[in-house]
Structure 1
Amino acid sequence: MSYTYPVKHPTGALTTEQLHLLLSNPRLIARRVADITKMKFIADYLLPARFDATGGGIFYETGEPVFANGEPEAIEPLGEYPLVVLEDGTVASAKTDKWGLDTIVADEKIARQGRVPVDRGIQRVSNTIVRFVDSVTMAVIASRVSSTFASEAAWTTAGSAVEAILTIQAERAELGLGFELDTVVLRPAQYAKVIAMLIDDKALPRESGATAIQGSLPVDALGLTWATTPHFQGANPLLVDRDNLGGMADEKLGGPGYASAGDFGVEVKTIRDDDAEGYKLRGRRVTVPVVTEPLAGVQLTDTGL
């Protein structure tokens, strides 16, 4: 995700007066969120489709066929093409929730500690919202992706992992749904075991191996993308097709003073409280995770991870 803002943000040490100016400028605050927030939404990574939830909710179709209910025909010159009527999926609905959090920074802290309490407040509010929205999203994905596949053998080698994944990929391909299950989502402890196994078996390409050692996520190996998040608490790894699994439905409420750190991210606002003599730092995201294709994912059981 890239960030573009028309206002340059201050760099280096700021005076108390400059900090008060920064706190009164929504776009500068949004840029600070983009600069210092290290945690990113895995919700947007696993559910990359974007839905407009204007009005507080969304209607969507689930289980929509990916193939037409007819076959192509040989067309003679100037001949007519056959017409097929596309089948619809099952209509479902989802309602957005406004997840938000406030903290307050006193003028005394700004005068005595400079930008540190401001950055700390922004970071903690933003990261907490990321954690919560990701936890909700992972719970929704785990509940909607209810189909399972049992591995014949525990994942003790790269070969056993590949065998299990290729088997379920072949089974889903036989259903003719058009899904490509290519992303594995694991808890951090499971992810650590898998990466260690891939390194021991020399199954990581040189560039991916370096990436894994440096701790950058996700990692591509064996034709799959391996991702992890501390916000996923399911016992079983998930194998999903990110392109078809679903998306996030965000509602843009607007309102004076709000600025967003990216197209889809935490919206931030600073509110001056003259009575308390400080600034309230507010973050929010108005969204709902939507899984449109439950069969675009499967839970992997009996992996031994």
Structure 2
Amino acid sequence: MPGAYPPAAPTLSGDLLTIHRLLQDPLRLERRLRTIVDLRFIADRLLTGRGRSSGGAALIQQSEPIVNPRAVEAVSPGAEYPRDVTPEGTAVLVPVSKWGQAVSLTDEKLKRSVYMGREVDRALTKTANTVITKIDRLATSAVASAVTNTVAAAAQWDSASALLYRDVEKAGAKIVDQNQGFKPNAVLMSTTKYAILVTDPAIAQMRRRETSDNPIYGGDIEYLGKYEVITTAVSNLPSDDVWVFDSNELGTMIDEVEVDPGYARIDNGLQYQVKRVSERDAWDIWARRITAPAVEEPAAGVKITGTGSLG
């Protein structure tokens, strides 16, 4: 919260002690972290399942069938029902890794800042965003590698003959037609593709006019039909394509949720710790997430190809 601490001359020790008390208290640090709204992974929106590792890994079932292999038969009066065995998916062991980074915050930087709390926020936010970027890239890469079903776009999305909404619906239909019980409900794209989407004339004609949630008045397109629109920088994607998927079935983020002594933890799995380094008159701040993305149902997603590389 920039400005949470009143400006003070560097010689006043009371405010500096307030900062030190914050840095030394994991609970206060956790509350402060929750106020930084940008700490959000798209990885957790793509792979909404929540798994826990045991011994540094988790066992998942991949591509688990939803129907039994034996066909249903007519049963004569008094006869036993034919038996079958419920099929299981392919067992896959997913190891978790510890992803993290540390930064240093000197006493001089704290004391010579008008708002000392802002320096703490900047250090926390930059470190968090660096970890978040890495986890997001891991998750999107896992999705892109696992999802092999494709649908071709009608045309490149920035062309006059593009049919953006129809492309998304066709991809969703391909998922549904597998008869695996999937219900596609989300679409992932780059922020550049979103810019094309939000200014598409055909989509604009289908929106309500003269309302505050219209993008021209400062609103966003959070949903395209029944699909939640998830965007990220094109640099976080393995390719500038568009993916449609069932976010409830696609996969899981597997986290090691146990918190070691001294760490503050927030809901998205990020863990922080701060250590006083007296010999350097500084504080070390580091963040981590012990996690791994796991795509359990590759058939729950479809990649739309031919939308063009617009990033």
Q: Report the TM-score, using the length of structure 2 for normalisation.
A: 0.83
Matched ranges for 1:92-131 at <5 A:
92-113=92-113, 114-131=116-133
- Secondary structure at the counterpart of residue 181 of structure 2: coil
Structure 1: unaligned runs, 5 residues or longer: 1-8
Cα 1:152–1:116 change in 2 (3 A) is: closer
- Superposition CA RMSD, Å: 3.2
- Residue 60 of structure 1 is matched in structure 2 by 60
- Residue 12 of structure 2 is matched in structure 1 by none
**Worse overlay, 163-172 or 223-232:** 163-172
Displacement of 1:106 in angstroms is 1.2
Displacement of 1:87 in angstroms is 0.5
- Residue 89 of structure 2 is matched in structure 1 by 89
**Worse overlay, 249-258 or 57-66:** 249-258
Contact persistence 1:211–1:219 (CA under 8 A): no
Q: Equivalent pairs: percent with the same residue?
A: 29
Contact persistence 1:37–1:127 (CA under 8 A): no
Matched ranges for 1:205-220 at <5 A:
205=208, 210=213, 212=215, 219-220=222-223
Displacement of 1:183 in angstroms is 1.3
Displacement of 1:37 in angstroms is 4.7
Q: Is residue 149 of structure 1 aligned with residue 154 of structure 2?
A: no
- Residue 299 of structure 1 is matched in structure 2 by 303
Cα 1:153–1:121 change in 2 (3 A) is: closer
Q: Deviations over 1:16-75 (max 9, x none)?
A: 111111111001112222212514100001101001112111111101012344678999
- Secondary structure at the counterpart of residue 186 of structure 1: strand
- Residue 273 of structure 2 is matched in structure 1 by 269
Matched ranges for 1:106-255 at <5 A:
106-113=106-113, 114-155=116-157, 160-197=163-200, 201-205=204-208, 210=213, 212=215, 219-230=222-233, 231-255=236-260
Q: Is residue 258 of structure 1 aligned with residue 258 of structure 2?
A: no
2-side partners of 1:39 and 1:93: how far apart? 29
Contact persistence 2:155–2:307 (CA under 8 A): yes
Displacement of 1:257 in angstroms is 0.4
Residue type of the partner of 1:239? V
Q: Is residue 36 of structure 1 aligned with residue 32 of structure 2?
A: no
Residue type of the partner of 1:279? W
Cα 1:168–1:256 change in 2 (3 A) is: closer
Contact persistence 2:39–2:125 (CA under 8 A): no
**Worse overlay, 147-156 or 114-123:** 147-156
Contact persistence 1:183–1:226 (CA under 8 A): yes
2-side partners of 1:23 and 1:292: how far apart? 39
Cα 1:268–1:37 change in 2 (3 A) is: farther
2-side partners of 1:83 and 1:211: how far apart? 56
Contact persistence 2:243–2:304 (CA under 8 A): yes
Contact persistence 1:245–1:296 (CA under 8 A): yes
Contact persistence 1:208–1:220 (CA under 8 A): no
Displacement of 1:198 in angstroms is 5.7
Residue type of the partner of 1:248? M
Contact persistence 2:150–2:305 (CA under 8 A): yes
Structure 2: unaligned runs, 5 residues or longer: 7-14
Residue type of the partner of 1:258? Y
2-side partners of 1:10 and 1:195: how far apart? 32
Q: Report the TM-score, using the length of structure 1 for normalisation.
A: 0.85
- Residue 279 of structure 1 is matched in structure 2 by 283
- Secondary structure at the counterpart of residue 36 of structure 1: coil
Larger radius of gyration: 2
Residue type of the partner of 1:170? A
Displacement of 1:111 in angstroms is 2.1
Contact persistence 1:259–1:268 (CA under 8 A): yes
2-side partners of 1:157 and 1:39: how far apart? 37
Displacement of 1:101 in angstroms is 0.7
Contact persistence 1:52–1:249 (CA under 8 A): yes
Q: Is residue 19 of structure 1 aligned with residue 19 of structure 2?
A: yes
Residue type of the partner of 1:162? Y
Contact persistence 2:175–2:302 (CA under 8 A): no
